[in-house]
Amino acid sequence: MPHIPVETAGASPASDHFGAEYFCQRQGNDPRRQRSFAQERAYLLRWLGQEAFVTGTLLDVGCSTGEFIDALGWNRDRIYGMEISAYAREVAARKGVRFDRDLLNAEEFFDLIVFRGTIQYISNPFHYIQRAFQSLKPGGHIVFIATPNTNSPYYRHFGTLPFLEEPVNYWIPADASLRMVLSNCGFALVDLCHPYFGTPYAQPLRDHVRFLFKILFRTRTKFAFRRSMLWALARKPALAQ
């Protein structure tokens, strides 16, 4: 499930929606989330290498209580966050997450910017992605994890996705549109995939039976399904113009 980033200015519907109670299962105490984090960490390690976790500077956009940063095992002296919830910010700050530098005020400062399940909550997402490009060092990376994908069977049939919190959504990407936006902002796509099989929330046989029943009987059940989620990693060219 997602965590929410700070907006550029003004109130957001998310400010009231995501109070302290929302984060009760976002304190490193949800086993399936922790297993998801471990898979996502392995993904980043494969593409970035261990040295990035030691020497790189990380920004987590919508860092929640800092539990994903904890799971990454990133160098504690090089972690920054953005978060709309005052409660979650306080928890993350106690863990060492800093909030004085972010993609809205930094230039060529970060090595990795993470949007984990957050881009759909931002009212000006393209501005954020463009600012991410500007605030990354040349050769730095942007990654989207646990990100909804409207180019999916579930969305095409039902007009939603199981993990969306619709009252506070703005832009819900598709893999093709995200690829295009990243390219238009100057990024080079490194990898784009649709994790499902082998993830903690997948029950392939049961999920496909539920999918059929949902088509036939319009049930209200929500469940993981293939291509409903995407991961995308892109790189700022080393010699950006």
Q: How far apart are the first and last CA of the chain?
A: 36
pLDDT at residue 2 is higher than 90: no
- Strand, coil or helix: what is 77? helix
Q: What is the mean pLDDT of the chain?
A: 91
The domain 13-150+167-201+228-235 is placed in CATH, from the list 1.10.3720.10, 3.90.79.10, 3.40.50.150, 1.10.540.10, at 3.40.50.150
Tell me, what's the pLDDT at 27? 74
pLDDT at residue 28 is higher than 90: no
pLDDT in tens, 203-214: 999 999 999 999
Percent of the chain with pLDDT over 90: 85
pLDDT at residue 219 is higher than 80: yes
Please state, in angstroms and rounded to a whole number, the distance separating the CA atoms of residues 228 and 168.
19
Tell me, what's the pLDDT at 13? 53
By CB neighbour count within 10 A (0-12 exposed, 13-18 middle, 19+ buried), where does 179 fall?
Answer: middle
The CA–CA distances, whole Å, from 224 to 110, 164, 197, 211, 237 equal 33, 12, 10, 10, 35
Please state, in angstroms and rounded to a whole number, the distance separating the CA atoms of residues 147 and 19.
22
The CA–CA distances, whole Å, from 183 to 3, 44, 237, 241 equal 25, 20, 11, 14
pTM of the predicted structure, to 2 decimals: 0.91
Instruction: Please give the helix or strand (H or E) that residue 197 lies within, else none.
Output: none
Contacts (Cβ under 8 Å, ≥6 apart) of 86:
none
Contact 141, 43 (CB under 8 A): no
Counting runs of H as helices and runs of E as strands, what totals does the chain give?
Answer: 9, 6
pLDDT in tens, 46-104: 999 999 999 999 999 999 999 999 999 999 999 999 999 999 999 999 999 999 999 99
Tell me, what's the pLDDT at 212? 97
Count of positions (residues) in the chain: 241
pLDDT in tens, 92-133: 999 999 999 999 999 999 999 999 999 999 999 999 999 999
Tell me, what's the pLDDT at 1? 35
Query: What confidence tier does 8 reach under pLDDT thresholds 50, 70, 90?
Result: very low
Cα 214 to the chain's mean position, in Å?
Answer: 27
Cα 183 to the chain's mean position, in Å?
Answer: 18
Contact 25, 132 (CB under 8 A): no
Please state, in angstroms and rounded to a whole number, the distance separating the CA atoms of residues 95 and 56.
18
Tell me, what's the pLDDT at 239? 75
